[in-house]
Structure 1
Amino acid sequence: MDLVVNHTSAEHEWFKESRASRENPKQDWYIWRDGSGDAPPNNWHSVFGGSAWQWDDQRQQYYLHLFLKDQPDLNWRNPAVQEAVWETMRFWLDLGVDGFRLDVYNFYFKDAELRSNPKRRSFKGIFYKYASQHHHYDQDQPELYSTLAKMREIVDSYPGDRMLVGETSTLEDFRRAFSYYGDENKGLNLVFNFEILHSRWRARDFRKAIQHWQTCAPENSWPTWVLSNHDVKRHGSRYSRGSQIDLARAKVAATLLLTLKGAPFLYYGEEIGMLELALPHHMIQDPPGKKFWPFFKGRDGCRTPMQWCDEANAGFSDGIPWLPVHENFKQVNVSIAAADDSSLLQYYKRLIRLRCATPTLLTGVMHLIEKVPRNTLIFTRSEAGDELWIGLNFSHRKAIVQLNFPENLEIILATHHAEGATFSHGVMALEPDEAVICRKIK
């Protein structure tokens, strides 16, 4: 479940009570301050543009919002706020949720003195002022460690495999994310890694992202992998060479995601090849898109309704949806994909079944193979004598991979080759835009 506790809505009862006066039980549940003369209390910027401080006529003070002005930040230095969050977590855990995605968890605490952030001397941007500062004082404060430990303690007190996954895309130091989790320090179970989310369709880009994790991550940490989410253009569109889904590339991407060591996160619709929808300005709902148009057109294009069938609103709702359905919904939907054995959906299902039935793909050691043809990515997964070889060709040309061992490789899943076929004497012949999963025959 998504747990958003850095901030609440300005319509939340807590905030309504807090803004009512400077003398009420919740007056200190949010971060209120007097201004510095006629200016806000400090120089902090909102992630979505402008000052992070909003003047409130009712209370005659500024309140802090590191995101939208309609999303005032909670005061995590108030023990009553922390207790309210613990109570909220227990409420949902009692109902049986398996865990929480902690939205922007590294923003919970702010500097106790609310000191201004130092400026970046090298910053030359015009529109996105948030990037003009080093965010030393508005995120990643030392108190966060004990808070995450408390959240982990609450989750671990429930039976079964409950978990916490931390989400943020604003960490200034990639390595800092790893300090927030692990069993030894009782932090988060997982931290989202968005590096391959921004990789171009080149083998070397994906290799670099994988190696970066392997280099920076603590020993025994569990990786996470994401190709699409609610904040970026869908990878079905990013990696296609035209206006339609590039099915071959989409299957290669799916193979990568589901064979890497770690926890794959799938974004709704990627399994059927949903594409980004280009919306005109008057249909934009995302506040940053409205504010920064046309330089940034918002995130609505990746948030359109799930395409279930070819009926009205793609079967998503009988009412008018918040965002329009992609115009391709009559051709791209679950109903059609489920009936087509060659569809992307059916390939995802085969991949997931193979992953669940193959311990080597779940927990096996991963090793990247060096000295392979340009624009190919080859890696192994091995455990208890079982050795799997994964070959991914990101090129539109055939690739011959000399693996320098005498054994044959049996194909157990591929996008072009037949299952059960073999690559002889350690030579992997990949078709253009092909993915293969093989087992070494000993």
Structure 2
Amino acid sequence: MTENIKWWQKAVVYQVYPRSFQDANGDGIGDLKGVEQHLDYIAKLGADVIWLNPVYTSPDEDNGYDISDYEDINAKFGNMADFDRLLQKAHDKHIKILMDLVVNHTSNQHQWFIESRKSKDNPKRDFYIWRDPVAGHEPNNWGSFFSGPAWQYDDATGQYYLHLFAEGQPDLNWVNPEVRQAVFDMMNFWVDKGIDGFRMDVISLISKPDGLPDGQVPTGGVYGNADKAVANGPHVHDYLKEMRDKVLNRADMMTVGEASGVDIQNAIQYANQDTSELNMVFQFEHMGLDNNPNPALGKWYDQKVSLTALKENLSKWQNKLAGKAWNSLYWDNHDQPRAVSRYGNDTPAYRVISAKMVATLLHFMQGTPYIYQGEEIGMTNAYNLKREDFDDIEIKNAFKYLIDKDNLLDEETMLRYVHAKGRDNARTPMQWNNSDNAGFTTGQPWLKLNDNYQTINVADALADPKSVFYYYQKLIQLRHDLPIMTTGKYQLLDPEDNDVYAYRRIGQGEQLLVINNFTDQVLTRNYSVPDDARLLIGNYDDDEGQTLRPYEAKVYQF
């Protein structure tokens, strides 16, 4: 089986959120030259691929996920010459570049939409989803992912356009073959530049259901659930097969689809090993396990996930995709809170040890691991940000609708929930050192820094051989060196244990035993470790056998 392994199955991806990574020109916003400055850092970590969040021209209503020109670079980040140089220098260091593809929607300032909204008979009208009012209001009851309705009335033509996200992000009409061809032509522009693949934003939403039926309104909610109504629509697999034929087969590309609402059967279609569509998907089931029990409040909550529920879910994806499709492995990204804060313990006493534990659990599973910038030094959620500090449109809309308009929460509770789950937790600037603005910029940072940068930063991590950074470095090296991490069968141990997550990886003539204590307690567990077993990696300096210290992680090879 080892001979058939594709390069992206052994790869480790490092996600760069450019506006928060490094500012090279002092305007307070990270840029492409800033990414270039730290290629050696990413190479030292050992990552094979950089996933670059959108750097295209955009009015930045949703931080670049509202694109007004797909074939030009946002001036805040530099220009196309800067991009070309970054791509070349990354390739010189054997690092591949994965571009973010955002084609469920564009910006309302994209030329296509500017034309589309001019008149009902404009040639670009059918590039987007326009509908007449129904009984004087929206065409259906769908809610936006960013709170509020998913429809915007346009006075010029007396119709509504669909925006599953912000008002400034109108959804493209993929039923129109001209739309699909325009998207494929744009993708080929980047393929011809020599990029190495695409991360596809909300790709499971591009095919809307016939007739756009109402969604189910959650108890206590106001709007219908658009995600359940739209995800994995009737033609999404046809569209991706067409994309494969017209774009993706032209080069040895890596593709990962962000697949909201995906289940096992759909994932096997999206990421089938016959590579007829994509290489892998990001699924979100484990991200929703700590959602609010009140469905009207969605993700906004601050309680820790049940470990038994997490085991059940991750194990399902490990076992049911095995031999059929490929997993993406991730804890956090630009849309999720910090991993150590969510799954570990970010207090000073346990931050380093639990960050290593959380990493161990994920990196020994089958799939391609993704590391979000700062995760490798144990960056935490930003508890110092207040309502007036937040930049994220999702957070702003949550305050606007859930508190100010619908009175579902009080402001103090909402702030607590945002400190636990808000997207700006991951978007605070990268903490390079303990100097002013954490070495991110000489100007005024676009988003307030996490105030713990003086004790959590790259410079300190690189100076400490026991830091989280060097632990991640070792995990990456092990994945490169040990085929069993890529090909071994996964077997969960003790599914009802709500304190320890242990599993085996079983290969040809060898096994790995992965043990993770999710508590701050000293525990005892007997997993029958053979006498000839070797401690492959652990987050303590020694091994006390059946005794598991707080947040202890260790992996045996035998």
TM-score by length of 1: 0.88
The residue number in structure 1 matching 2:492 is 368
Question: Mean alpha-carbon deviation: is it higher for 36-45 or for 238-247?
Answer: 238-247
Question: Which of residues 517, 520, 523 in structure 2 aligns to 1:396?
Answer: 520
**What is the distance in 1 between the residues matched to 2:552 and 2:529?**
22
Q: Alpha carbons of 1:374 and 1:291: their partners in 2 closer, same or farther (altered >3 Å)?
A: closer
**What is the distance in 2 between the residues matched to 1:183 and 1:406?**
35
**What is the distance in 1 between the residues matched to 2:361 and 2:390?**
33
Q: Alpha carbons of 1:158 and 1:77: their partners in 2 closer, same or farther (altered >3 Å)?
A: same
CA shift for structure 1 position 389:
1.9
> Would the aligned equivalents of 1:99 and 1:155 in 2 still touch at CA under 8 Å?
no
Q: Alpha carbons of 1:46 and 1:409: their partners in 2 closer, same or farther (altered >3 Å)?
A: same
**What is the distance in 2 between the residues matched to 1:238 and 1:12?**
37
CA shift for structure 1 position 340:
0.6
For residues 127-138 of structure 1, the aligned pairs below 5 Å read: 129-131=223-225, 135-136=228-229, 138=230
Q: Alpha carbons of 1:144 and 1:318: their partners in 2 closer, same or farther (altered >3 Å)?
A: same
The residue number in structure 2 matching 1:58 is 156
The residue number in structure 2 matching 1:145 is 237
CA shift for structure 1 position 375:
2.1
1:169 and 2:260 aligned = yes
**What is the distance in 2 between the residues matched to 1:414 and 1:185?**
36
1:345 and 2:455 aligned = no
CA shift for structure 1 position 343:
0.9
RMSD: 2.6
**What is the distance in 2 between the residues matched to 1:16 and 1:176?**
35
> Would the aligned equivalents of 1:380 and 1:387 in 2 still touch at CA under 8 Å?
yes
Cα displacement string for residues 124-155 of structure 1 (whole angstroms, at most 9, x for unaligned residues):
2246x344x7833x342211111111223345
> Would the aligned equivalents of 1:202 and 1:375 in 2 still touch at CA under 8 Å?
no
Cα displacement string for residues 99-142 of structure 1 (whole angstroms, at most 9, x for unaligned residues):
1111111211223433x32535xx32246x344x7833x34221
What letter matches 1:146 in structure 2? D
Cα displacement string for residues 58-117 of structure 1 (whole angstroms, at most 9, x for unaligned residues):
333211111111101111111111011101111111112221111111211223433x32
What letter matches 1:152 in structure 2? R
TM-score by length of 2: 0.70
- Secondary structure in structure 2 of the residue aligned to 1:179: helix
**What is the distance in 2 between the residues matched to 1:396 and 1:135?**
38
Q: Alpha carbons of 1:151 and 1:318: their partners in 2 closer, same or farther (altered >3 Å)?
A: farther
Structure 1: unaligned runs, 5 residues or longer: none
- Secondary structure in structure 2 of the residue aligned to 1:408: coil
- Secondary structure in structure 1 of the residue aligned to 2:164: coil
The residue number in structure 2 matching 1:191 is 281
Question: Which of residues 244, 252, 256 in structure 1 aligns to 2:357?
Answer: 252
- Secondary structure in structure 1 of the residue aligned to 2:329: strand
Count of aligned pairs: 426
1:49 and 2:147 aligned = yes
The residue number in structure 2 matching 1:438 is 556
1:412 and 2:536 aligned = yes
The residue number in structure 1 matching 2:69 is none
Question: Which of residues 420, 433, 437 in structure 2 aligns to 1:313?
Answer: 437
The residue number in structure 2 matching 1:95 is 193
Cα displacement string for residues 300-325 of structure 1 (whole angstroms, at most 9, x for unaligned residues):
22211111122332222333332111
The residue number in structure 2 matching 1:210 is 314
The residue number in structure 2 matching 1:125 is 220
Cα displacement string for residues 365-404 of structure 1 (whole angstroms, at most 9, x for unaligned residues):
2222348976222222233323222222223334443344
- Secondary structure in structure 2 of the residue aligned to 1:266: strand
Percent of aligned pairs with the same residue?
38
What letter matches 1:178 in structure 2? I
**What is the distance in 2 between the residues matched to 1:232 and 1:3?**
19
**What is the distance in 2 between the residues matched to 1:314 and 1:220?**
44
**What is the distance in 2 between the residues matched to 1:319 and 1:83?**
42
> Would the aligned equivalents of 2:318 and 2:366 in 1 still touch at CA under 8 Å?
no
**What is the distance in 1 between the residues matched to 2:535 and 2:496?**
19
Structure 2: unaligned runs, 5 residues or longer: 1-98, 291-303, 400-410
Cα displacement string for residues 314-365 of structure 1 (whole angstroms, at most 9, x for unaligned residues):
2223333321111111221111111111111111111111221111222222
Rg larger for: 1
Question: Which of residues 256, 273, 282 in structure 1 aligns to 2:388?
Answer: 282
**What is the distance in 1 between the residues matched to 2:527 and 2:493?**
9
The residue number in structure 2 matching 1:236 is 340
**What is the distance in 2 between the residues matched to 1:144 and 1:332?**
43
CA shift for structure 1 position 216:
4.3
Q: Alpha carbons of 1:430 and 1:96: their partners in 2 closer, same or farther (altered >3 Å)?
A: same
Structure 1 stretches of 4+ moved >4 Å: 198-203, 240-243, 371-374
1:111 and 2:209 aligned = yes
- Secondary structure in structure 2 of the residue aligned to 1:306: coil
The residue number in structure 2 matching 1:323 is 447
The residue number in structure 2 matching 1:71 is 169
**What is the distance in 1 between the residues matched to 2:445 and 2:483?**
42
**What is the distance in 1 between the residues matched to 2:116 and 2:441?**
37
Q: Alpha carbons of 1:184 and 1:74: their partners in 2 closer, same or farther (altered >3 Å)?
A: same
